[in-house]
């Protein structure tokens, strides 16, 4: 397999290519339609796990994704959904690679993705995860806004919610429980 074009940049957006821009944009667009099976309102591009898409000389499509954490059970479903999406578009061969380094961070989520989480009833991550070259991140306890009523009077019930990426909170004002997508 010999790569054509340059695929995507490290920040998960289509990169500029020479000679194959339209094809690269097309394959990125196909991959970007695949939704996360655990949060179906988010695409893998919104989530920031779609890292690289490239058409090889033999017309095989190479897709690189980074799981939100190394044991994420959604990766098999995402791999299958990517293969199905490309097969529907006439691509015969699709190779999906999981890359663990650099580790995924909520900093890679798009603003559109965060807005979709809010509309869906999941509080999006607040703050940034990156340590910026320091000895390590300093964990602060921040108030999480209720996605139902926008109250800041919320309380964490458990550090792990419906998935390991989320914590379970309750709003003290509207009394509604909700997931919070943790800053990772």
CATH number at residue 15: 3.30.300.130
Tell me phi and psi for residue 30, to 5 degrees. Answer: -65, -50
What domain count does the chain have? 2
Which residues form the domain of 167? 121-128+141-181
Report if residue 108 sits inside a domain: no
Helix (H) or strand (E) holding 156: strand 154-158
Within-domain flag for 62: yes
Question: Quick one: residue 30, left, alpha or beta (phi over 0 = left, psi -120 to 50 = alpha)?
Answer: alpha
Give residue 23's pLDDT.
Answer: 85
Q: What is the pLDDT along the chain (184 residues), one digit of tens a residue?
A: 333 333 433 444 444 344 468 888 999 999 999 999 999 999 999 999 999 999 987 889 999 999 998 888 899 999 999 999 999 999 989 999 999 999 999 999 999 999 999 999 999 998 777 554 444 555 556 789 999 999 999 999 998 888 888 899 999 999 999 999 888 7
Cα(145)–Cα(181) distance, rounded to whole angstroms?
Answer: 12
pLDDT value of position 92? 87
Report whether 35 contacts 44 (CB < 8 A). yes
Asked if residue 111 is part of any domain, the answer here is no
Task: Write down the pLDDT at residue 122.
Answer: 94
Structure tokens at 140: 């602060």
Torsion-angle region of 42 (φ positive above 0: left; ψ -120 to 50: alpha; else: beta): beta
- CA 30, 35, 39: angle at the middle one, nearest 5? 165
Q: Are residues 149 and 83 in the same domain?
A: no
Residue 33 in domain: yes
Are 17 and 86 in the same domain?
Answer: yes
Residue 134 falls inside a structural domain? no
Q: Are residues 159 and 94 in the same domain?
A: no
Query: In terms of domains, do 23 and 90 share one?
Result: yes
Does 146 share its domain with 69?
no
Q: Is residue 107 part of a domain?
A: no
16 and 89 part of one domain: yes
Please check whether residues 76 and 155 belong to one and the same domain. Answer: no
Same structural domain for residues 90 and 152? no
10 assigned to some structural domain: yes
Q: Write down how long the chain is.
A: 184
Domain for residue 106, yes or no?
no
To the question of pTM greater than 0.95 for the whole model, the response is no
Write down the pLDDT at residue 82: 97
């Amino acid at each position: 397999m010999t790569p054509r074009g340059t695929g995507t940049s490290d920040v998960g957006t289509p990169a500029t290519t020479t000679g194959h821009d339209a094809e690269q944009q097309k394959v990125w667009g196909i991959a970007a339609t695949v939704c996360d099976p655990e949060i179906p309102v988010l695409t893998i591009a919104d989530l920031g796990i779609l890292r690289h898409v490239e058409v090889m000389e033999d017309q095989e499509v190479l897709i690189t994704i980074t799981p939100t954490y190394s044991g994420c059970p959604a990766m098999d479903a995402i791999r299958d959904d990517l293969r199905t999406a490309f097969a529907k578009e006439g691509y015969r061969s699709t190779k999906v690679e999981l890359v663990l380094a650099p580790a995924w961070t909520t900093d890679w989520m798009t603003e559109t993705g965060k807005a979709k989480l809010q509309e869906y009833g999941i509080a999006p991550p607040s703050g940034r995860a990156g340590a910026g070259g320091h000895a390590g991140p300093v964990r602060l306890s921040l108030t999480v806004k209720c996605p139902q009523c926008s109250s800041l009077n919320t309380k964490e019930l458990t550090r792990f919610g419906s998935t390991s990426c989320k914590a379970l909170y309750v709003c003290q004002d509207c009394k509604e429980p909700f997931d919070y997508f943790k800053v990772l």
